[in-house]
Every structure is written in structure tokens, then in C-alpha cells.
Amino acid sequence: MPRARTGTLVPPLADGLWRGRVTKDNPDGTTTKPLYSLGTTDKALARRKLAKLVAAIERGEDVTDVASVVGAPERVRDYADGWLATRSAQGVGMVQKERRTLEMYAFDAIGRLPLCDVRPSHVRSILDEAAAKGLRRATVAEIRGVLHRLFRAAVEVELVEHNPATPVRTPKLREVRKERCILTDDEFLRFVACSDVGLEIRMLSLVARCEGGMRTGDLHTWDWTMIDRVHFAECFIPRAKTKMPQALAIPDVLAPFVRAWWERAGKPESGPVFPVCIGDRAGQVKSASNSYAKRLRRDLFHAGVYRMTPIMVPATSKGTRTDRGKTANGTKPAPNPRDPLYFATATTLPVDFHSFRRAFASALAEAGVNVQHAMHLSSHSDPRVHARYVMNTAAMRQIPAAAVPRLPSVALAETRKPTAKDMGRVFSTPSGVRGAVAARANLATSQGVSSSDCRTRTYDPAVNSRLLYQLS
């Protein structure tokens, strides 16, 4: 079976343009390897154009038609695939997230358009559509950020003249920015001390809470070669997000647990600290997309960690098809829908595994650690990011006494409306009917009754009596 054509890239000459050489079958049975100019100085773009050239020759197209195919403007989706592949080879950690963002929100709208035909109006329509779906502002901003980086790279290789995402701003969305709920120290100790909860999730939680606020990606890539296996005094944290390993001391309270976990694993010299436990991939590094949020909340409830009294629900189990008439046998306890640890409230989000990192940063602030030291321990490079973790500490919630006025210690007196008895005392004054009318008129005026409401002015006692009755 003949080898499939792939073509060969030829380095640029004085003009700086890449060329490609592709084997071509002639009608007389001979083969030639003509040289085609790919019309670009960018190697990645030249490689993609060469692939188009090879595909066109495989289809038997004429050389002139091939030249037009190679010279056709690059489409957004084709360029994005190459751009993402380049970033993946460079070790950028957010490539998968960028690819998912483009596939979900951008490719349907502009994927088939040539790069040079994308306008700011296209980017604006993509963001407006995302906002109309009810996405959070951070998600909409991330969509704009991915498009901006994509077209900025296209500008750098001179595929387009202007970045269409630059003049477009993220839509202003009013939303309640809720803080993620974190466990108190008592709740955390109750959780890790519960023997009914799996040992792995408790060890993951211990390390994430005590050792530099390690992220899930850090825990997955943590290797035994990064740990001092003699004294368990120091270690390197891989910091999978920034690709910058960080040397930190192992706290004295954590060292015995890490040593016991190492001995339980058979004292390995290398390998992941928290490997895959079951299946064909047992012992290998866990996937980066592995999440512990649901598992953590489930085990927290099993450990008896809750802030509101649980409720009783039907004891359903896996495979119980209630839509087909199946019913559960009895009831079982479940988290209260108003419990902030398990459900979103008007002010907070439920606890997840990243809450341990938040708890670590908050504890640093409570301990009075300065910002530079705290940012180093938690591996934060942006002070604004670090501030989001520490603004919800107990110290930050306290209002200084000097910021409020000195208020009386007694209760405020309540204004009492005049009663009929009080009115009787007014009219029993020795000043006579005339004085009573004047007093009653003054009282009515103080209560908002205008003197213009009185239809007549007279000193006749009978008329005055009728007037007083109307005012009352």
C-alpha cells in the first residue's frame, strides 16, 4: 500500500515565504515533485495551507485550481484549530477551556467565516447572545477574552489587519456576586475525623486545606519525587495552573498524615501521590477534569456536618424509576434545601473542593500574615485575585467603634398619639368654650389639619360644639 501524501515544507528564501513540495502523478505514469509557493511567512499557516494543497492534489484538481485553494482566505475554525494546537504544544494550561468556549459560543456564528470578514458586530452579537442566555458576567468576559487572544494572534502573523474583538466591551450585567461557602475549623475537623468517609477524600481535603491551598490540578500532578520522604519537612507543589513548581515546608500537623499515606501506598519512590484507584488506569495520574464537589458534599453529610436540621425524603436509590410507578421503601435523611453548605442561597454558593483553598487564604488573613507572604504561600500573582479570597474574614466584617456615633444606651421613646382622655382634659380647662376651641384648633393644626377646613368662625357655643365634633 503506497504511503499517503503529506507534502514537504521548504524553508523560506530571501522573500521570507514558505513553499511546499508535493508528489504529483502525471498521466503518463511518471511522478514529479513541483514546488508551490504558499504565500505566507508563518510556518503554522504554511503547514495548514500545505495540507489543503495535498488534499486538492489527491482529488485530482488542476494546478491552477490548487493555487486558488491555497490562496483562499483562512476560515476562523481552521485557524482556531491550529492556534489551539500551538498553544497546547507550548504548555498553556487553559487550552481545553478555550476550545470548549469557542465550540459552545463562537463557532456556530463565525466558524465558517474567513478571518478577514469577521467584524466587531459579529463579536458583539456573540456576547449579547451569551448574556441573553443568562450566563454570568465572568463567563461572557471569558468568551470575549478567548476571541481577543485568537484574533490578536492572527494580527501578529498578518492574516488580518485589525482585531475585531478590541473595540467590543463586555456587556454590563447586574448580578449578585455570591461568596463560596467554606467550612469552619470545627466542621473540617469533624469531617476528617469521620471513619465512615473514604480515606482518599479526607487526605485530599487535608492537603488542600493545609499545604498552600493546593488546587485539584496540583493534587493530581503531585508526585512522590516532589516530597521529602525522609523527614517529611519540605515538598514541591507543581502548581499545574501556572507551571511554576513552588517549594514549601510541610506543616508539622500535616507531616504525620502524609507519612502514613506514603507507608500505606508501599513507600513508593515515584508516582502520583493520589493515583487512579480502580479500573484499567489504576495507579496512573488522574484526569485534569476530575472533580470532587459532589463527592465532598455527599461525604460531608455522611459525616454529620450540616448547619440546618436535615429533612426526610423518599429512600430512592440508583435505578429507581419513579416515572414508571416505582416507589421507595421508607425514607432517608437529606440536606435541608436552606442549608448553605449544600445549596445556593440568596448570598452564598454551596461548598465545593476549591473552598479549601479559600479557607487557607482566609486563615492567612485571620492570622495577620502580610499580603506579600500570603500571596506567595497561596501562589497568587494578582493582588486583586488574592483580595477576593480574604475579604470575607471575621476581621473584615467588624465595623470599628470609631466609625459609628455614640448612641444612647436606653431605648428610643415612642411618640404617643393623644387619647380621648387627653382630649377631655383639654376641654375641661377653666378658660371656657372659647379657650377650648382655640386649644383644639391648635392641636388639629399640629396634626396636619388646616384651619381653612373650618367653614365658619363664631363664638356661638352651639356652633362651636358642632365644629369640635366635626374636627374630632
Whether pLDDT at 158 is above 80: no
pLDDT band for position 316 (cuts 50, 70, 90): confident
Q: What is the pLDDT of residue 455?
A: 43
pLDDT band for position 196 (cuts 50, 70, 90): very high
Which of 234 and 449 is assigned the larger pLDDT?
234
Q: Other C-beta atoms within 10 Å of 77: how many?
A: 15
Q: What is the pLDDT of residue 449?
A: 45
Q: Other C-beta atoms within 10 Å of 41: how many?
A: 14
Annotate 76-112 with DSSP letters as a single string: HHHHHHHHHHHHHHTT-TTHHHHHHHHHHHTHHHHTT
Q: What is the pLDDT of residue 228?
A: 95
In whole angstroms, give the CA distance from residue 462 to residue 472: 16
Whether pLDDT at 118 is above 70: yes
The most confident of the ranges 82-86, 131-135, 299-303, 396-400 is 299-303
Mean pLDDT of 416-426: 66
Q: What is the pLDDT of residue 451?
A: 43
Quote the strand ranges of 85-210, DSSP E.
Answer: 179-180
Mean pLDDT of 380-406: 80
What is the average pLDDT value for the chain, to the nearest integer? 83
In whole angstroms, give the CA distance from residue 206 to residue 258: 9
Q: What is the pLDDT of residue 67?
A: 57
In whole angstroms, give the CA distance from residue 453 to residue 446: 14
pLDDT tens digit sequence for 322-355: 677 777 778 899 999 999 999 999 989 999 999 9
Whether pLDDT at 452 is above 90: no
Which of 166 and 386 is assigned the larger pLDDT?
166
pLDDT band for position 25 (cuts 50, 70, 90): confident
pLDDT tens digit sequence for 168-195: 999 888 778 888 899 999 999 999 999 9
Q: What is the pLDDT of residue 343?
A: 95
Whether pLDDT at 426 is above 70: no
For residue 156, give the C-alpha cell: 501578529
pLDDT band for position 448 (cuts 50, 70, 90): very low
Q: How far is CA 164 from CA 117, 121, 144, 168, in A?
A: 10, 8, 10, 8
pLDDT band for position 412 (cuts 50, 70, 90): confident
pLDDT tens digit sequence for 200-256: 999 999 999 999 999 999 999 999 999 999 999 999 999 988 888 999 999 999 999
Q: What is the pLDDT of residue 454?
A: 42
